[in-house]
Amino acid sequence: MSLVLKKAPEFSAPAVIGDKVEQNFSLSKYEGKYIVLFFYPKDFSGVCPTEFWAFQERLADFESRGAVVVGCSGDSDESHKVWLKTPRNQNGIEGITFPLVSDLAKTIATNYGVLGGDYTYDDEGRLAFEGSPIALRGTFIINPTGIVMHQAVNFFTVARDIDSILRELDAIQLFEKEGQLCLANWKKK
């Protein structure tokens, strides 16, 4: 399911920002800004910290474009807090400054179409889950009016390229501000 050109699904969920938990975090707090919302499978995994550090190292590039970065997984806010206190050399993300949303119920991942499987009923009519009940690597760029302008979803093992996300953000902003189209391999000067 594509969310492009649709209103981004809103949510209210706990998010860890630094060493604090914001219980009712929502994207509406960033009204008027571009939002790069990314989903990742789970805390303490082998690939995820590399993406977190790549985002953190380029955070100023996003901020200079009027964009914020928000991460989301099905882990608890308690797990996020522990991971945020774990040093980088121990597979942790200590020092990450952008929000980490907790999606324990998997409703956010479901609404964004990135849950790695589906709920179904078995032959006895019992609710079951087919696949992996964790988020795929979904990346969404949401414009200042709350419309999804870009969506990319990768398998669990394929990490994101931050330069590609910045290029998409630049292209979206160029079109929205100047009406200019972006051809193949276009890059901001």
pLDDT digits (tens, 9 = 90+) for 16-54: 999 899 999 999 999 999 999 999 999 998 899 999 999
Q: What integer pLDDT is reported at residue 152 of this predicted model?
A: 98
Please report, for the chain, the start and end positions of each structural domain, with discontinuous segments joined by +: 13-161
Q: What integer pLDDT is reported at residue 62 of this predicted model?
A: 98
Does 48 participate in catalysis according to the annotation?
A: yes
Please say whether the beta carbons of 109 and 71 come within 8 A.
no
| Residue 87 confidence (pLDDT) above 90 | yes
Q: What integer pLDDT is reported at residue 46 of this predicted model?
A: 86
For the residues 170-187, what does the mean pLDDT come to? 92
| Residue 170 confidence (pLDDT) above 90 | yes
CATH number for the segment(s) 13-161 = 3.40.30.10
Region of residue 5 (phi > 0: left; psi between -120 and 50: alpha; otherwise: beta): left
> Using alpha carbons only, what angle is made at residue 81 by residues 148 and 32, rounded to the nearest 5 degrees?
30
Set 13, 27, 48, 101: catalytic member: 48
Which of 39, 4, 19 has its CA nearest to residue 138? 39
Q: What is the distance between the alpha carbons of residues 141 and 148, in angstroms, rounded to a whole number?
A: 6
Which of 81, 67, 84 has its CA nearest to residue 144? 67
